[in-house]
Chain A
Amino acid sequence: MTATMTPERSDTEMADRDGFARLLHAEWTKFRTVRGWVIAMVIAAALTAAVGLYAASGPETGCQPVGPNGPIGPPAPCKPSNPVGPDGEAVSDSYYLVHQALRGNGSITVRVTSLTGRSAPGGGLAPGPNPEQNFTSGVQPWAKAGIIVTASTRQGSAYAAMMVTGGHGVRMQYNYTGDTPGLPGAVSAASPRWLRLVRAGDTLTGYDSADGTHWTRVGTVRLTRLPATVQAGPFVTSPAWVQAQNSALTAATAVFDHVSVPHAAAGAGWRGVSIRAHAQEASSLPGRFRAAGGTFTVTGSGDIAPAGPGPTNVGMPADDGFVGAFAGLIVVIVVGTMFITAEYRRGLIRTTLAAAPGRGRVLAAKAVVIGSVTFAAGVIGAAPVIPAGASLLRNHGNYVFPMSMLTEVRLIAGIAALLAVTSVLALATGTIVRHAAGAITAVIALTVVVYFFSVPLAVLPAGAADWLLRVTPAAGFAIQQYVPAYPQVNNVYTPQHGYFPLAPWAGLGVLCLWAAAALCLATVLLRRRNA
């Protein structure tokens, strides 16, 4: 008995290396030979594309130029598009600059003794002789005053800057997204801040000091392709105050002295300039500059920072076209569930397990097949939506935040992965529940319904929506976000504006964890139960 019970190697699964390949082949044959499932996958891809493009063709926020005989030309964005930073991202770049040219290597040093602010709750200047009559005083936490070395005075130029802020101490910032903290605390006449920037080739190093004697290096950055002659000098800016759907323009005023540029070109003088898109730009107030006996008083408004969708930025992320993934997702959940529950309904599961007694491997093969098929359908559905949807939005006069080619690829792969992992979650849930209606309801509730109530409808309290988008499989929708949230930029970071509580891959990771946990439970149950 003992002898016969020990299987020969060739007869055991352990020696059967190509066994899983045979299972994959069998499950793929199963999938492709049910016409309804194949058609459903085509529909999922088509829905993802069609609904996405339909959604993108809808909104028209543009303004149509009007001539003497009625509207002329296609609608154009009412608000000029955001400047584009050195790395291709949308940026805000409005501030008041007092500058002179700096040729070659050199440095600039200042002392800041005051930073105060005002805000315009009504949204801007009042008409009449006293345009700032409604302003209230108070400095924005991210109001900035300091020294900047910039490639040019054009918006979106490469730069590095040392600054004091309204509420976050000294910072070194560069190229819009870079941010390094320096000395903490607020600036005042009693507690001034000394700032210095040193250029050596492409390298800029920032220092700060409380007394002008003891200096601390805050950071060093390399700005590629910095021209030989750059513009350098004191600057001030103050971002809009935002809360929920409201915003208000603000301005800040700073006092500088001990301004020193040791290697300044002979005869160079200080010139003040408002860096803005145009004089009537809506996102900042006009600035000004007064020099008296080596003391500069500078007022500025705006921000030097990455720009993202929010109350002050009416532009929309291209991901508004992704609602199509949504329609596709429902179809994918149904097919993923049916891939196993149809076998339970007909008793076919016993045929499957008689042909392949390794139950965990059967489920794994099913997961690989449904996941791969769905991923392919997702790529086919999402690929046209991303570029075409953005261009549709632009044609209707909407501003769309730019994205790099790499981001486009990531978004397409991410949407496809969202669909694929959700189909695997549906398969696993179907295995656990063994009943199509129950499993489909559960998975749709956990993904589509949670997302729908949290984001487009926004009927849940923000805290609850935030929590649901972190812990439920709906966290996977975070993969749609492509404009990052920055802690150094005051904005309303809500899903409605395209910001999710988890980073894109982290959100997809939460969905993957759900799918993995469901697969584990499904495997345990499948092994334990009588078939």
Chain B
Amino acid sequence: MEAAIEVTGLCKRFGSTVALDGMSFTVTPGEITGFVGPNGAGKTTTMRVILGLDAPDAGTAVVAGYPYQALRRPLTRLGSLLDAAALQPSRTGRNHLLWLAHSQGLDAGRVDAVLGHAGLGKAARRRAGGYSLGMRQRLGIAAALLGDPPALMMDEPFNGMDPEGIIWMRGLLRSLAAEGRAVLVSSHLMSELEGIADHLVIVGRGRVLADTPTRDLLAAASGDRVTLRTTTPARAAAALEHAGGSTVAAGDGTLTVTGLAAEKIVVLLGESAVPFSEVSAHRASLEEAYLELTRDAVEYRAEQAHGIPR
């Protein structure tokens, strides 16, 4: 399937700071792509380059096959939410959408349609200066949906949302992807994307650390560790090591086994008549996988912050 958004080899420096260092990935229609990385990893800069707001030193970014600048009525190709606070405080939310609509040749009817969709209700006719952060996010979502675009890009959309808002947002993102749209969502917190991202682009230090389906990342991170509880750890360890596994005593009648699947362990222990009270396969969380992957990037930043030479 053709990529909705494709960035290739983006490089960008701000003075002596390297913001992007060969950033490359694609965003596929019908999926939610999580764009994850610590603060300062280059997520926002990448999104700005995609929108043609920042010029890269090298590399290209295309939307539906074209550079963003070449798109006429670009909001009908890519809806984006970068900074929900970017509003004229004295203009009402509805009027904010109205000028955006007019810039794309759309009318007020479309504005009212997306306002309903974003659940802003009567607040739309109040001055945007009085909006809560959550209301601003909803207005930003409405602006992104205005052109009914096949691709959407949102920078930290969960910021400042209450739990109800987060649930609403996750449902909305899922339904947008289910309609066949490409959805790119950035976050510095993996937990926000857990359970909704189909694909993950994990970044650090301005480049991609992992670009993988969420399922594969989880499987790889979990490895094959199994936790075993038994009253006779020594016998259990002998039996399992004989079968090719390796064990580490975790104390208190607990063994961590690697190299053997949980089902195999149950069979082996049964054959050897070793009593056990629990055999459980370890499930890594996305958070752990993410921390594992980004540890270097975070350490690097910490080092820089403390001025420790590498």
Contact = CB atoms under 8 A, between A and B. Distances in A.
Contacts of A387: none
B70 A354 contact: no
Nearest to A36: B90
Interface in A7-62: 7, 10-13, 15-16, 18-19, 22-23, 25-30, 33-36
A74 interface: no
Contacts of B33: none
Given A22-B105, A26-B103, A355-B75, A7 B53 contact: no
A354 B143 CA distance: 11
Interface stretch (A99-107, A141-149, A155-163, A341-349): A341-349
B85 interface: yes
Contacts of A16: 72
Contact of B70 (A12, A28, A351): A12
Contacts of B70: 7, 11-13
Contacts of B39: none
Contact of B54 (A13, A28, A34, A531): A531
A4 interface: yes
A299 B291 CA distance: 108
B130 interface: no
Contacts of B91: 30, 33-34
Range for the number of chain A residues in contact with chain B: 35 or more
Interface string B285-303: 0000000000000000000
Contact of B95 (A29, A36, A356): A29
Interface in B89-127: 89-92, 95-96, 98-100, 102-105
B209 interface: no
B252 to A, nearest CB: 55
Nearest to A358: B69
B194 interface: no
B11 interface: no
Contact of A354 (B66, B72, B74, B99): B74
Given A12-B72, A25-B102, A354-B74, A5 B143 contact: no
A353 B53 contact: yes
A27 B53 CA distance: 19
Contact of A530 (B53, B62, B83, B103): B53
A353 B68 CA distance: 11
A33 B99 contact: yes
Nearest to B153: A354
Nearest to B100: A355
Contacts of B87: 346, 348
A346 B83 CA distance: 10
A353 B105 CA distance: 16
A350 interface: yes
A357 interface: yes
Contacts of B67: 5
A22 B105 CA distance: 6
A19 B53 contact: no
Nearest to B105: A22
A343 B88 CA distance: 7
Interface string B56-70: 000000100111111
A278 B167 CA distance: 95
Interface string A338-379: 000011001110111111111000000000000000000000
A347 B54 contact: no
Contacts of A35: 90
A29 B90 contact: no
A355 B74 contact: yes
A22 B86 CA distance: 21
B52 interface: yes
Most buried by A among B73, B85, B88: B88
B56 to A, nearest CB: 10
Contacts of A353: 51-53
A35 to B, nearest CB: 6
Contacts of A28: 102
A350 B104 contact: no
B167 to A, nearest CB: 27
B241 to A, nearest CB: 54
A234 B156 CA distance: 94
Contacts of A357: 51-52, 68-69, 71, 74
A114 to B, nearest CB: 78
B86 A348 contact: yes
Contacts of A351: 82, 86, 100, 143
Interface in A360-413: none
Contacts of B83: 347, 350
B80 to A, nearest CB: 6
B48 interface: yes
A346 B86 contact: yes
Contacts of A18: 105
B55 A530 contact: yes
A348 B140 CA distance: 12
A13 B69 CA distance: 8
Q: Which 9 A-B pairs have the closest CB atoms?
A: A26-B103, A33-B95, A347-B86, A29-B99, A531-B53, A4-B65, A16-B72, A25-B102, A530-B54
24 contacts: A7-B66, A12-B72, A13-B70, A15-B72, A22-B102, A26-B99, A26-B100, A28-B102, A30-B99, A33-B95, A33-B99, A34-B88, A34-B91, A346-B87, A346-B88, A350-B48, A350-B53, A354-B51, A357-B68, A357-B69, A357-B71, A357-B74, A358-B69, A530-B48
Interface of A: 4-5, 7, 10-13, 15-16, 18-19, 22-23, 25-30, 33-36, 342-343, 346-348, 350-358, 530-531
Interface of B: 48, 51-55, 62, 65-75, 80, 82-83, 85-92, 95-96, 98-100, 102-105, 143
